[in-house]
Amino acid sequence: MNKILFSLITGLGLTYCLIFIGRELKVYGQKSFRRLKEESVPQLGGVGISLAFLISAFYYNDEKMLTFLIISSPIVLGGIIDDFRELSARSKLLFQFISSGLILSLNYNEIIWNQWNQHPIITSILTVFFVVTLCNAINFIDGLDSLVASYFMATLPLIYLIPNELSQSTSIIFGACLSFAYFNKKPAKIYLGDVGSNLIGLMLAYSFLTHRPLSGGWHFDVLGYLMIFALPLVDLTTATVRRVMAGTSPFTADKDHIHHRLLKVGLNDSQVAIIFFFVGALCSNVGWILVNDSNSLLKWSILSSSIGILLIILYLVFRTEGQLGKHISHFGRTLIETYINLDKTDYLMTENSLNQAVILDLFNYYKELQRKGLPKVVSFVKDISGFITFKFKGARVMLLSSYSIAIIMPNGNEWKKNEVEILKSDFLRLTDKHKATRLCNNEPEGLYFYNKDEFAIFYREMGKKAQLQKKSAA
Protein backbone atom coordinates (compact mmCIF):
# COMPACT_ATOMS: atom_id res chain seq x y z
CA MET A 1 0.00 0.00 0.00
CA ASN A 2 2.87 2.37 0.81
CA LYS A 3 4.39 1.78 -2.63
CA ILE A 4 1.08 2.55 -4.33
CA LEU A 5 0.67 5.81 -2.40
CA PHE A 6 4.27 6.87 -2.99
CA SER A 7 4.18 6.25 -6.76
CA LEU A 8 0.67 7.75 -6.97
CA ILE A 9 1.63 10.99 -5.20
CA THR A 10 4.90 11.19 -7.14
CA GLY A 11 3.09 10.59 -10.41
CA LEU A 12 0.40 13.18 -9.65
CA GLY A 13 2.99 15.85 -8.92
CA LEU A 14 5.10 15.05 -11.97
CA THR A 15 2.14 14.82 -14.35
CA TYR A 16 0.71 18.11 -13.04
CA CYS A 17 4.03 19.83 -13.80
CA LEU A 18 4.32 18.15 -17.21
CA ILE A 19 0.91 19.49 -18.24
CA PHE A 20 2.23 23.05 -17.91
CA ILE A 21 5.60 22.16 -19.45
CA GLY A 22 3.86 20.52 -22.41
CA ARG A 23 1.67 23.57 -22.97
CA GLU A 24 4.64 25.91 -22.70
CA LEU A 25 6.71 23.86 -25.17
CA LYS A 26 3.63 23.08 -27.31
CA VAL A 27 4.22 19.33 -27.22
CA TYR A 28 0.97 18.60 -29.00
CA GLY A 29 2.27 16.32 -31.72
CA GLN A 30 1.55 16.57 -35.42
CA LYS A 31 -1.93 17.78 -36.26
CA SER A 32 -3.93 14.59 -36.66
CA PHE A 33 -7.46 13.52 -37.46
CA ARG A 34 -7.16 10.53 -35.11
CA ARG A 35 -7.67 12.55 -31.96
CA LEU A 36 -11.31 13.39 -31.38
CA LYS A 37 -10.58 16.30 -29.03
CA GLU A 38 -10.46 19.65 -30.78
CA GLU A 39 -8.20 21.57 -28.41
CA SER A 40 -4.46 21.06 -28.04
CA VAL A 41 -3.49 18.67 -25.24
CA PRO A 42 0.13 17.91 -24.19
CA GLN A 43 1.39 14.40 -24.96
CA LEU A 44 3.79 13.95 -22.04
CA GLY A 45 1.72 11.56 -19.89
CA GLY A 46 4.08 8.69 -20.65
CA VAL A 47 7.03 10.77 -19.47
CA GLY A 48 5.26 11.30 -16.12
CA ILE A 49 4.66 7.55 -15.74
CA SER A 50 8.28 6.78 -16.62
CA LEU A 51 9.65 9.33 -14.12
CA ALA A 52 7.30 8.06 -11.39
CA PHE A 53 8.62 4.53 -12.05
CA LEU A 54 12.19 5.77 -11.87
CA ILE A 55 11.85 7.73 -8.61
CA SER A 56 9.83 4.97 -6.90
CA ALA A 57 12.25 2.26 -8.03
CA PHE A 58 15.24 4.19 -6.63
CA TYR A 59 13.41 5.04 -3.41
CA TYR A 60 12.50 1.39 -2.73
CA ASN A 61 15.72 0.04 -4.27
CA ASP A 62 13.67 -2.15 -6.61
CA GLU A 63 16.43 -3.75 -8.71
CA LYS A 64 14.08 -5.55 -11.10
CA MET A 65 12.18 -2.36 -11.81
CA LEU A 66 15.46 -0.53 -12.37
CA THR A 67 16.50 -3.25 -14.82
CA PHE A 68 13.24 -2.77 -16.70
CA LEU A 69 13.81 1.00 -16.80
CA ILE A 70 17.23 0.42 -18.39
CA ILE A 71 15.56 -1.85 -20.96
CA SER A 72 12.84 0.72 -21.62
CA SER A 73 15.22 3.71 -21.93
CA PRO A 74 15.58 3.47 -25.77
CA ILE A 75 11.80 3.35 -26.20
CA VAL A 76 11.32 6.26 -23.78
CA LEU A 77 13.98 8.28 -25.62
CA GLY A 78 12.41 7.50 -29.00
CA GLY A 79 8.97 8.36 -27.66
CA ILE A 80 10.13 11.73 -26.33
CA ILE A 81 11.68 12.57 -29.70
CA ASP A 82 8.49 11.48 -31.46
CA ASP A 83 6.31 13.61 -29.16
CA PHE A 84 8.40 16.68 -30.00
CA ARG A 85 8.89 15.91 -33.70
CA GLU A 86 7.21 13.12 -35.64
CA LEU A 87 9.46 10.11 -36.27
CA SER A 88 9.05 7.75 -39.19
CA ALA A 89 7.74 4.23 -38.57
CA ARG A 90 11.22 2.83 -39.29
CA SER A 91 12.81 5.06 -36.65
CA LYS A 92 10.26 3.94 -34.05
CA LEU A 93 10.95 0.30 -34.92
CA LEU A 94 14.67 0.89 -34.41
CA PHE A 95 14.13 1.99 -30.79
CA GLN A 96 11.88 -1.03 -30.21
CA PHE A 97 14.58 -3.34 -31.62
CA ILE A 98 17.17 -1.82 -29.26
CA SER A 99 14.94 -2.44 -26.22
CA SER A 100 14.40 -6.01 -27.44
CA GLY A 101 18.16 -6.45 -27.60
CA LEU A 102 18.52 -5.20 -24.02
CA ILE A 103 15.96 -7.77 -22.85
CA LEU A 104 18.03 -10.50 -24.50
CA SER A 105 21.23 -9.12 -22.97
CA LEU A 106 20.02 -8.54 -19.40
CA ASN A 107 17.36 -11.24 -18.96
CA TYR A 108 18.27 -14.02 -21.38
CA ASN A 109 18.06 -16.81 -18.79
CA GLU A 110 14.62 -15.65 -17.61
CA ILE A 111 13.09 -15.42 -21.10
CA ILE A 112 10.27 -17.94 -21.53
CA TRP A 113 11.55 -19.29 -24.85
CA ASN A 114 14.88 -20.10 -23.22
CA GLN A 115 13.06 -21.87 -20.37
CA TRP A 116 11.50 -24.11 -23.03
CA ASN A 117 14.98 -24.84 -24.46
CA GLN A 118 14.42 -23.05 -27.75
CA HIS A 119 17.32 -22.32 -30.09
CA PRO A 120 18.95 -18.90 -29.35
CA ILE A 121 18.03 -17.62 -32.81
CA ILE A 122 14.37 -18.58 -32.31
CA THR A 123 14.46 -17.01 -28.83
CA SER A 124 15.81 -13.76 -30.29
CA ILE A 125 13.31 -13.62 -33.16
CA LEU A 126 10.30 -14.35 -30.93
CA THR A 127 11.45 -11.80 -28.34
CA VAL A 128 11.75 -9.02 -30.92
CA PHE A 129 8.42 -10.06 -32.45
CA PHE A 130 6.54 -9.87 -29.15
CA VAL A 131 8.04 -6.52 -28.17
CA VAL A 132 7.33 -4.87 -31.53
CA THR A 133 3.84 -6.39 -31.77
CA LEU A 134 2.67 -5.35 -28.30
CA CYS A 135 4.20 -1.87 -28.44
CA ASN A 136 2.34 -1.17 -31.67
CA ALA A 137 -0.85 -2.91 -30.51
CA ILE A 138 -1.09 -0.63 -27.46
CA ASN A 139 -0.25 2.39 -29.60
CA PHE A 140 -3.11 1.49 -31.95
CA ILE A 141 -5.74 1.53 -29.18
CA ASP A 142 -4.47 4.82 -27.74
CA GLY A 143 -7.17 6.91 -29.39
CA LEU A 144 -9.58 8.00 -26.64
CA ASP A 145 -9.36 9.49 -23.16
CA SER A 146 -8.64 6.82 -20.51
CA LEU A 147 -8.74 3.96 -23.03
CA VAL A 148 -5.23 2.53 -22.62
CA ALA A 149 -5.22 3.27 -18.88
CA SER A 150 -8.53 1.40 -18.45
CA TYR A 151 -7.35 -1.63 -20.37
CA PHE A 152 -3.95 -1.76 -18.67
CA MET A 153 -5.49 -1.48 -15.18
CA ALA A 154 -7.61 -4.55 -16.00
CA THR A 155 -4.50 -6.60 -16.83
CA LEU A 156 -2.37 -5.53 -13.83
CA PRO A 157 -3.74 -8.16 -11.38
CA LEU A 158 -2.48 -10.90 -13.68
CA ILE A 159 0.97 -9.31 -13.93
CA TYR A 160 1.05 -9.58 -10.15
CA LEU A 161 -0.36 -13.14 -9.89
CA ILE A 162 1.78 -14.80 -12.59
CA PRO A 163 5.43 -14.82 -11.44
CA ASN A 164 7.60 -12.64 -13.70
CA GLU A 165 10.30 -9.99 -13.43
CA LEU A 166 7.72 -7.24 -12.80
CA SER A 167 5.43 -9.08 -10.34
CA GLN A 168 6.88 -7.44 -7.23
CA SER A 169 6.77 -4.00 -8.88
CA THR A 170 3.05 -4.11 -9.67
CA SER A 171 2.13 -1.73 -6.83
CA ILE A 172 4.57 0.89 -8.17
CA ILE A 173 3.19 0.43 -11.68
CA PHE A 174 -0.41 0.68 -10.44
CA GLY A 175 0.18 3.91 -8.53
CA ALA A 176 2.00 5.59 -11.41
CA CYS A 177 -0.66 4.59 -13.94
CA LEU A 178 -3.42 5.73 -11.58
CA SER A 179 -1.83 9.17 -11.42
CA PHE A 180 -1.91 9.40 -15.21
CA ALA A 181 -5.50 8.11 -15.36
CA TYR A 182 -6.61 10.93 -13.03
CA PHE A 183 -5.45 13.61 -15.50
CA ASN A 184 -6.42 11.58 -18.58
CA LYS A 185 -10.09 11.17 -17.66
CA LYS A 186 -12.49 13.04 -19.92
CA PRO A 187 -11.87 15.84 -20.66
CA ALA A 188 -8.20 14.89 -20.78
CA LYS A 189 -5.59 17.40 -19.62
CA ILE A 190 -2.73 15.24 -20.90
CA TYR A 191 -2.30 12.37 -23.35
CA LEU A 192 -0.20 9.25 -23.02
CA GLY A 193 1.92 10.09 -26.05
CA ASP A 194 4.26 7.73 -27.84
CA VAL A 195 6.36 7.32 -24.68
CA GLY A 196 3.45 5.98 -22.67
CA SER A 197 1.91 3.65 -25.26
CA ASN A 198 5.28 2.10 -26.08
CA LEU A 199 6.22 1.86 -22.39
CA ILE A 200 3.00 0.02 -21.50
CA GLY A 201 3.35 -2.23 -24.55
CA LEU A 202 6.92 -3.05 -23.55
CA MET A 203 5.81 -3.73 -19.97
CA LEU A 204 3.19 -6.23 -21.12
CA ALA A 205 5.67 -7.91 -23.46
CA TYR A 206 8.34 -8.02 -20.74
CA SER A 207 5.95 -9.56 -18.19
CA PHE A 208 5.12 -12.31 -20.70
CA LEU A 209 8.69 -12.92 -21.82
CA THR A 210 10.00 -13.30 -18.25
CA HIS A 211 7.10 -15.15 -16.65
CA ARG A 212 7.48 -18.60 -15.11
CA PRO A 213 4.90 -21.21 -16.23
CA LEU A 214 2.46 -22.39 -13.58
CA SER A 215 0.53 -25.19 -15.28
CA GLY A 216 3.36 -26.95 -17.06
CA GLY A 217 1.63 -26.91 -20.47
CA TRP A 218 3.43 -24.41 -22.68
CA HIS A 219 0.58 -24.17 -25.22
CA PHE A 220 -1.92 -23.14 -22.52
CA ASP A 221 0.71 -20.79 -21.14
CA VAL A 222 1.06 -18.97 -24.45
CA LEU A 223 -2.70 -19.01 -25.09
CA GLY A 224 -3.32 -17.64 -21.61
CA TYR A 225 -1.09 -14.64 -22.16
CA LEU A 226 -2.47 -14.11 -25.66
CA MET A 227 -5.95 -13.91 -24.12
CA ILE A 228 -4.71 -11.12 -21.84
CA PHE A 229 -3.58 -9.21 -24.94
CA ALA A 230 -6.58 -10.30 -27.05
CA LEU A 231 -8.25 -6.93 -27.59
CA PRO A 232 -5.20 -4.92 -28.73
CA LEU A 233 -3.93 -7.88 -30.79
CA VAL A 234 -7.28 -8.24 -32.58
CA ASP A 235 -7.32 -4.50 -33.26
CA LEU A 236 -3.73 -4.60 -34.56
CA THR A 237 -4.46 -7.59 -36.80
CA THR A 238 -7.65 -6.17 -38.32
CA ALA A 239 -6.00 -2.76 -38.87
CA THR A 240 -2.97 -4.31 -40.57
CA VAL A 241 -5.09 -6.52 -42.86
CA ARG A 242 -7.39 -3.59 -43.69
CA ARG A 243 -4.53 -1.26 -44.62
CA VAL A 244 -2.59 -3.84 -46.64
CA MET A 245 -5.74 -4.74 -48.61
CA ALA A 246 -6.29 -1.03 -49.27
CA GLY A 247 -2.75 -0.77 -50.64
CA THR A 248 -1.43 1.47 -47.84
CA SER A 249 1.26 1.04 -45.21
CA PRO A 250 0.26 -0.88 -42.03
CA PHE A 251 1.52 2.17 -40.11
CA THR A 252 -0.75 4.65 -41.93
CA ALA A 253 -3.16 6.04 -39.33
CA ASP A 254 -6.91 5.78 -39.83
CA LYS A 255 -10.11 5.95 -37.79
CA ASP A 256 -11.37 2.42 -38.24
CA HIS A 257 -10.03 0.92 -35.02
CA ILE A 258 -12.41 -0.94 -32.72
CA HIS A 259 -12.87 2.08 -30.43
CA HIS A 260 -13.69 4.31 -33.43
CA ARG A 261 -16.29 1.82 -34.62
CA LEU A 262 -17.87 1.74 -31.16
CA LEU A 263 -18.15 5.53 -31.30
CA LYS A 264 -19.78 5.34 -34.72
CA VAL A 265 -22.54 3.05 -33.44
CA GLY A 266 -23.51 5.67 -30.85
CA LEU A 267 -21.38 5.10 -27.73
CA ASN A 268 -19.47 7.93 -26.04
CA ASP A 269 -15.81 8.00 -24.91
CA SER A 270 -16.54 6.94 -21.33
CA GLN A 271 -18.72 4.01 -22.40
CA VAL A 272 -16.03 2.77 -24.79
CA ALA A 273 -13.40 2.99 -22.00
CA ILE A 274 -15.68 1.00 -19.66
CA ILE A 275 -16.18 -1.66 -22.34
CA PHE A 276 -12.41 -1.92 -22.84
CA PHE A 277 -11.92 -2.29 -19.08
CA PHE A 278 -14.46 -5.10 -18.73
CA VAL A 279 -13.28 -6.90 -21.86
CA GLY A 280 -9.71 -6.61 -20.54
CA ALA A 281 -10.83 -7.99 -17.16
CA LEU A 282 -12.70 -10.87 -18.85
CA CYS A 283 -9.71 -11.75 -21.02
CA SER A 284 -7.39 -11.56 -17.99
CA ASN A 285 -9.59 -13.95 -16.00
CA VAL A 286 -9.67 -16.41 -18.89
CA GLY A 287 -5.90 -16.05 -19.22
CA TRP A 288 -5.45 -16.78 -15.50
CA ILE A 289 -7.47 -20.00 -15.78
CA LEU A 290 -5.46 -21.12 -18.81
CA VAL A 291 -2.07 -20.63 -17.17
CA ASN A 292 -3.04 -21.81 -13.68
CA ASP A 293 -5.73 -24.52 -13.82
CA SER A 294 -4.72 -28.16 -14.38
CA ASN A 295 -8.03 -29.27 -15.93
CA SER A 296 -7.42 -29.35 -19.70
CA LEU A 297 -11.08 -29.90 -20.59
CA LEU A 298 -12.11 -26.87 -18.54
CA LYS A 299 -9.39 -24.80 -20.20
CA TRP A 300 -10.49 -25.68 -23.73
CA SER A 301 -14.15 -25.08 -22.86
CA ILE A 302 -13.50 -21.65 -21.37
CA LEU A 303 -11.10 -20.67 -24.15
CA SER A 304 -13.48 -21.63 -26.97
CA SER A 305 -16.46 -19.98 -25.23
CA SER A 306 -14.54 -16.75 -24.64
CA ILE A 307 -13.26 -16.57 -28.20
CA GLY A 308 -16.78 -17.23 -29.47
CA ILE A 309 -18.25 -14.43 -27.35
CA LEU A 310 -15.55 -11.97 -28.46
CA LEU A 311 -16.04 -12.87 -32.13
CA ILE A 312 -19.81 -12.40 -31.86
CA ILE A 313 -19.34 -8.98 -30.22
CA LEU A 314 -16.84 -7.93 -32.90
CA TYR A 315 -19.16 -9.15 -35.66
CA LEU A 316 -22.09 -7.15 -34.28
CA VAL A 317 -19.97 -3.99 -33.94
CA PHE A 318 -18.52 -4.27 -37.46
CA ARG A 319 -21.90 -5.17 -38.98
CA THR A 320 -23.73 -2.27 -37.32
CA GLU A 321 -21.01 0.20 -38.26
CA GLY A 322 -20.97 -1.17 -41.81
CA GLN A 323 -24.71 -0.65 -42.20
CA LEU A 324 -24.34 2.94 -41.02
CA GLY A 325 -21.50 3.37 -43.51
CA LYS A 326 -23.69 2.17 -46.39
CA HIS A 327 -26.39 4.63 -45.40
CA ILE A 328 -23.88 7.49 -45.37
CA SER A 329 -22.44 6.26 -48.69
CA HIS A 330 -25.78 6.48 -50.49
CA PHE A 331 -26.58 9.79 -48.83
CA GLY A 332 -23.10 11.12 -49.70
CA ARG A 333 -23.50 10.40 -53.41
CA THR A 334 -26.87 12.14 -53.38
CA LEU A 335 -25.32 15.17 -51.66
CA ILE A 336 -22.51 15.46 -54.21
CA GLU A 337 -24.97 15.16 -57.11
CA THR A 338 -27.22 17.78 -55.46
CA TYR A 339 -24.69 20.45 -54.50
CA ILE A 340 -21.80 19.99 -56.96
CA ASN A 341 -22.17 20.84 -60.64
CA LEU A 342 -21.14 17.54 -62.22
CA ASP A 343 -20.44 16.87 -65.89
CA LYS A 344 -22.67 13.86 -66.64
CA THR A 345 -22.03 13.69 -70.39
CA ASP A 346 -20.09 10.77 -71.87
CA TYR A 347 -16.47 11.83 -71.95
CA LEU A 348 -13.72 9.92 -73.74
CA MET A 349 -10.48 10.86 -72.07
CA THR A 350 -7.28 10.78 -74.13
CA GLU A 351 -3.76 11.88 -73.38
CA ASN A 352 -4.28 15.04 -75.42
CA SER A 353 -7.41 15.94 -73.44
CA LEU A 354 -5.55 16.16 -70.14
CA ASN A 355 -3.50 19.21 -69.33
CA GLN A 356 -3.83 19.30 -65.55
CA ALA A 357 -6.22 17.54 -63.23
CA VAL A 358 -7.08 16.82 -59.62
CA ILE A 359 -8.60 13.85 -57.85
CA LEU A 360 -10.51 14.92 -54.74
CA ASP A 361 -10.94 11.85 -52.52
CA LEU A 362 -13.46 12.62 -49.75
CA PHE A 363 -13.94 9.06 -48.48
CA ASN A 364 -12.10 9.43 -45.15
CA TYR A 365 -13.54 12.90 -44.55
CA TYR A 366 -17.02 11.42 -44.83
CA LYS A 367 -16.13 8.72 -42.31
CA GLU A 368 -14.79 11.40 -39.94
CA LEU A 369 -17.86 13.63 -40.23
CA GLN A 370 -20.56 10.94 -40.24
CA ARG A 371 -20.30 10.47 -36.46
CA LYS A 372 -21.04 14.20 -36.01
CA GLY A 373 -24.35 13.92 -37.83
CA LEU A 374 -25.70 14.41 -41.35
CA PRO A 375 -25.99 18.24 -41.08
CA LYS A 376 -22.18 18.37 -40.68
CA VAL A 377 -21.76 16.27 -43.83
CA VAL A 378 -24.16 18.54 -45.76
CA SER A 379 -22.26 21.65 -44.66
CA PHE A 380 -18.94 20.07 -45.67
CA VAL A 381 -20.19 19.12 -49.16
CA LYS A 382 -21.55 22.64 -49.71
CA ASP A 383 -18.14 24.10 -48.85
CA ILE A 384 -16.43 21.59 -51.14
CA SER A 385 -18.77 22.72 -53.92
CA GLY A 386 -17.73 26.33 -53.34
CA PHE A 387 -14.06 25.32 -53.25
CA ILE A 388 -14.35 23.59 -56.64
CA THR A 389 -16.39 26.42 -58.20
CA PHE A 390 -14.03 29.23 -57.22
CA LYS A 391 -10.67 27.45 -57.39
CA PHE A 392 -11.16 25.37 -60.54
CA LYS A 393 -13.08 27.65 -62.89
CA GLY A 394 -14.05 26.12 -66.21
CA ALA A 395 -13.10 22.58 -65.14
CA ARG A 396 -14.99 19.40 -66.00
CA VAL A 397 -16.09 17.81 -62.70
CA MET A 398 -16.79 14.07 -62.80
CA LEU A 399 -18.05 11.71 -60.08
CA LEU A 400 -15.85 8.61 -59.71
CA SER A 401 -17.72 7.00 -56.81
CA SER A 402 -19.88 7.97 -53.85
CA TYR A 403 -16.97 9.95 -52.39
CA SER A 404 -14.41 10.67 -55.10
CA ILE A 405 -14.36 13.47 -57.69
CA ALA A 406 -12.14 14.04 -60.74
CA ILE A 407 -11.54 17.68 -61.72
CA ILE A 408 -10.12 18.08 -65.24
CA MET A 409 -8.88 21.56 -66.07
CA PRO A 410 -9.22 23.10 -69.56
CA ASN A 411 -6.09 23.34 -71.68
CA GLY A 412 -3.78 26.13 -70.62
CA ASN A 413 -0.65 26.76 -68.66
CA GLU A 414 0.24 24.20 -66.01
CA TRP A 415 0.03 25.11 -62.36
CA LYS A 416 3.10 26.64 -60.85
CA LYS A 417 4.40 25.19 -57.60
CA ASN A 418 3.24 28.18 -55.56
CA GLU A 419 -0.26 27.88 -57.06
CA VAL A 420 -0.48 24.25 -55.97
CA GLU A 421 0.67 25.20 -52.47
CA ILE A 422 -2.03 27.91 -52.29
CA LEU A 423 -4.70 25.38 -53.31
CA LYS A 424 -3.46 22.97 -50.64
CA SER A 425 -3.56 25.72 -48.01
CA ASP A 426 -7.10 26.68 -49.02
CA PHE A 427 -8.20 23.04 -48.79
CA LEU A 428 -6.62 22.73 -45.33
CA ARG A 429 -8.47 25.84 -44.16
CA LEU A 430 -11.71 24.27 -45.37
CA THR A 431 -11.11 21.00 -43.50
CA ASP A 432 -9.95 22.93 -40.42
CA LYS A 433 -13.25 24.78 -40.42
CA HIS A 434 -15.05 21.43 -40.16
CA LYS A 435 -12.59 19.98 -37.60
CA ALA A 436 -11.78 17.17 -40.05
CA THR A 437 -8.20 17.88 -41.12
CA ARG A 438 -6.27 14.83 -42.29
CA LEU A 439 -2.57 14.90 -43.07
CA CYS A 440 -0.37 12.36 -44.81
CA ASN A 441 3.36 13.19 -44.82
CA ASN A 442 2.41 16.78 -43.93
CA GLU A 443 0.23 17.05 -47.05
CA PRO A 444 -3.58 17.36 -47.07
CA GLU A 445 -4.96 13.88 -47.56
CA GLY A 446 -7.31 13.29 -50.48
CA LEU A 447 -6.04 16.12 -52.74
CA TYR A 448 -3.96 14.79 -55.66
CA PHE A 449 -2.55 16.91 -58.51
CA TYR A 450 -1.61 15.63 -61.98
CA ASN A 451 -0.13 17.27 -65.07
CA LYS A 452 -0.02 16.24 -68.73
CA ASP A 453 3.04 14.01 -68.24
CA GLU A 454 1.20 12.04 -65.56
CA PHE A 455 -1.81 11.07 -67.70
CA ALA A 456 -1.26 7.31 -67.25
CA ILE A 457 -0.93 7.67 -63.47
CA PHE A 458 -4.03 9.86 -63.30
CA TYR A 459 -6.10 7.45 -65.40
CA ARG A 460 -4.98 4.47 -63.28
CA GLU A 461 -5.68 6.29 -60.01
CA MET A 462 -9.17 7.20 -61.21
CA GLY A 463 -10.04 3.54 -61.61
CA LYS A 464 -8.20 2.34 -58.50
CA LYS A 465 -9.78 4.86 -56.14
CA ALA A 466 -13.25 4.17 -57.47
CA GLN A 467 -12.80 0.42 -57.01
CA LEU A 468 -11.33 0.73 -53.50
CA GLN A 469 -14.15 2.95 -52.33
CA LYS A 470 -16.80 0.66 -53.80
CA LYS A 471 -15.28 -2.24 -51.86
CA SER A 472 -15.09 -0.19 -48.65
CA ALA A 473 -18.71 0.92 -48.95
CA ALA A 474 -19.96 -2.60 -49.77
Q: Could you state, in order of their start, the residue ranges of all structural domains in the chain?
A: 2-30+37-321, 340-473
Return the pLDDT at 101: 92
Phi, psi of 162 (to 5 degrees): -90, 120
Please state, as a whole number, how many other Cβ atoms lie within 10 Å of the Cβ of residue 298. Answer: 12
Q: 208, 165, 161, 171: which is closest to 69 by C-alpha? A: 165
- What pLDDT is recorded for position 270? 82
Handedness of CA 239, 245, 249, 254 (dihedral sign): negative
- 111 and 104 Cβ atoms separated by less than 8 Å: yes
pLDDT at 331: 66
Q: Residues of the chain whose pLDDT is less than 50?
A: 31-38, 348, 464-474
Q: Phi/psi of residue 419, each to 5°?
A: -70, -40
| CA dihedral of residues 444, 448, 453, 458 (deg, nearest 10) | 160
| Whole-angstrom distance, CA of residue 225 vs CA of residue 219 | 10
- What topology is assigned to 340-473 in CATH? Alpha-Beta Plaits (3.30.70)
Angle at 107 between CA 106 and CA 112, to 5 degrees: 160
Give me the amino acid identity at 366. Answer: Y
Sign of the alpha-carbon torsion through 325, 405, 255, 264:
negative
Are 445 and 438 a contacting pair, CB within 8 Å? yes
Residue 42: what pLDDT? 84
Residue pair 52/176 in contact (Cβ under 8 Å)? The answer is: yes
CA distance 438 to 253: 10
Q: Would you say 409 and 357 are in contact if contact means Cβ atoms under 8 Å apart? A: yes
d(CA 118, CA 127): 12
Per-residue pLDDT, 441: 58
What digits encode the pLDDT tens for the residues 150-206? 888 888 887 777 777 777 788 888 888 888 888 888 777 888 888 888 898 898 888
Helix axis angle, 170-184 to 45-59, nearest 10°: 150
Task: For residues 77 and 47, give the distance between their C-alpha atoms in angstroms, rounded to a whole number.
Answer: 10
Angle of helix 193-209 relative to helix 170-184, nearest 10 degrees, comes to 150
b/e map 413-441, b = 16+ CB within 10 Å: eebeeeebeebeeebbebbeebebbbbee
pTM: 0.68
- Give CA–CA dist 301/423, Å, rounded: 60
pLDDT at 98: 94
pLDDT for 383: 92
Sheet with 356-361, edge to edge strand ranges: 396-399, 404-408, 356-361, 447-451
